[in-house]
A and B are shown apart, each in its own frame.
Chain A
Amino acid sequence: MENFEPTIVAFCCHYCAYTAADMAGSKRLCYPPNVKIVRVPCSGKVDAIHIMKALEMGADGVYVAGCLEGDCHFKSGNIDAAKRVTYIKKLLDEIGIGGERVEMILMSAGMGERFAQTATDMTEKIRKLGPNPVKSASKANNAA
């Protein structure tokens, strides 16, 4: 589909990923506006239903960004989040939406470049995958 601009929801933990996003901003690093950031106290706060609802409501891709291994402010929130993401990826494959639309990313507060790069990479990946199938079918119906 031409000119497809994906909508990506990024759940970013306050202590690391969100701070990295801030760092990217202050360093004037560019990253695509497709990424909508949702700040959470810890990536472990993100539950399966949040990811599902984001996709259900039309997001084309979702990622959960948390602290590097061993650095989680709440000890193991990032590990729990990673396990949930793995579980949801399988479920999404089962229903034909595709687990590759969801990812778990780890970074530290100072990694402004990594934040920007991740945002760019994810946007491109989802652009290639195309729109979330839940939208295109109804769009086709509306057009018909």
Chain B
Amino acid sequence: MITAERKPMEELIECLRPYHRILLVGCNECVTVCAAGGRKEVGILSSALQMAFMKEGKTLEVKEMTLERQCDPEYVEELVTHIDQAEAVMSMACGCGVQEIARRFKTKPVFPAVNTTFMGASERQGVWAERCQGCGECVLGLTGGICPIARCSKRLLNGPCGGSTNGKCEVDSDMDCAWQLIWDRLKALGIEDQYEENIAAKDWRTGRGGGPRKIIREDLLK
């Protein structure tokens, strides 16, 4: 999922300071899974914001809503009934959702409540780790199912570097060395020979390097 973490309260209170009535919108997908912006988190943030305002003798009315997701216009449309009563919107979704709300309601200030971080998976309850960088040309078939672009600190395609120590990255002793993981997996699969195939320099155009990307499916256009 796309992971995110709530911004510091100080920052959120500061950007909402000019307002008295806001719409606080959560998302039922990725940010719910990583406990950053789902229905529960909307409730907690709403309470925290109101208390912060009350403490200063002000009031903040918060209309709480959680959409199925914010990255599809059909769901964002559900905000129409409440948008006029709000002076501003704070979205707890990832950057994609925040932008979709801003796109739909051009005259309403929209603020992000979370910092979107990475595309990742749950390692165990409460722990999410980066897995994919969206490079646009997946090499997972060559590396035993472990991505060197997302999980190697130097995104080496022919790693490891000389700093790999005890299976950990030189950057942090808690960080796994991706190439150690890849090597272990290739061994487990009995295909160690594949390691010596040099992977060619990457064409970064399929990734963000070529500019912001778009997928158009002709067969699905209306």
Contact = CB atoms under 8 A, between A and B. Distances in A.
Interface in A55-87: 55-56
B155 interface: no
B190 interface: no
B47 A56 contact: yes
Given A95-B48, A96-B52, A138 B57 contact: yes
Given A49-B44, A95-B9, A56 B57 contact: no
Interface in B47-97: 47-52, 54-57
A52 B47 CA distance: 6
B55 A134 contact: yes
A95 B40 contact: no
Given A91-B9, A97-B51, A141 B57 contact: yes
A52 B56 contact: no
Interface residues of B, number: 17
The main secondary structure of chain B at its interface with chain A is: helix
A49 B57 contact: no
The main secondary structure of chain A at its interface with chain B is: helix
B54 A138 contact: yes
Nearest to B58: A137
Interface string B12-50: 010000000000000000000000000010011001111
A140 interface: yes
A49 B45 CA distance: 9
Contact of B10 (A56, A94, A97, A141): A94
A49 B40 contact: yes
Contact of B55 (A47, A48, A53, A95): A95
Interface of B: 8-10, 13, 40, 43-44, 47-52, 54-57
Interface of A: 47-49, 52-53, 55-56, 91, 94-97, 133-135, 137-138, 140-141
10 contacts: A52-B44, A52-B47, A52-B51, A56-B51, A91-B44, A94-B8, A94-B9, A95-B52, A97-B55, A133-B55
